[in-house]
Amino acid sequence: MSDENKSSSSPAGGEPTATRSAAPMWIVVTTLVLLCIGGYYFDQHGGWFDAHVYAPYSSAEKLEAYQPQSGAAAALARGKKTYEAVCGICHGADGMGKPAQFPPLAGSELVNSAGVNRLIHIPLAGVNGAIQVEGKDWNLAMAAMGAALPDEDLAGVLTYIRTSWGNKGGEVTAEEVKKVRAELGGSPQPMTGPQLMKMPE
């Protein structure tokens, strides 16, 4: 009777069954030690965490301290950011434009002129047709890219353009932008090159 019970409780064919057992402690400890060594090595040799890569910014607070907070520096930084988002796509981050497509802003006589009247008209009204920049003919169809920008932001963009890439122009103020915007009215038409050049600087 007992022999029969033994044979009926064992699996048919004598196949082994899986049982759970705890992993040896030395495997757990070795794995943790290897992870620590690997993390330390990566910290020392991987550029992601190298202090020299991010110096002098060792924290988010220190990075914030280096940012311009107010005044002309902050306006210029905002102008650069807006330029890169709105204008840089065509005229390039370096202001060099694209051959046969978009004229350069670096060295442009329209940018470096004594006055800013013509320059402000361009982004507020747009340009359509032939225009000369640095002695070269360009056939443009530029939309009024600056019309949707607040006066302060457009002034910051134009100031950034006039003071970057070797340009020697001065500051453009929000008041100057506001004045030209009022002259143009609500829905200005794109300007031609001859119209633009007839205007006072």
Q: What are phi and psi of 117, to 5 degrees?
A: -60, -50
**Is residue 120 pLDDT above 80, yes or no?**
yes
Alpha-carbon distance 66 to 49, whole Å? 20
Domain limits, the chain: 24-67, 68-198
Alpha-carbon distance 43 to 41, whole Å? 5
> Nearest to residue 161, comparing CAs of 93, 68, 115, 74?
93
The structure tokens listed for 135 are: 């002695």
Give the single-character DSSP code of 59: S
Residue 100 pLDDT grade (very low, low, confident, very high; cuts 50, 70, 90): confident
Residue 161 pLDDT grade (very low, low, confident, very high; cuts 50, 70, 90): very high
The domain defined by 68-198 folds into: Cytochrome Bc1 Complex; Chain D, domain 2 (1.10.760)
**Is residue 6 pLDDT above 50, yes or no?**
no
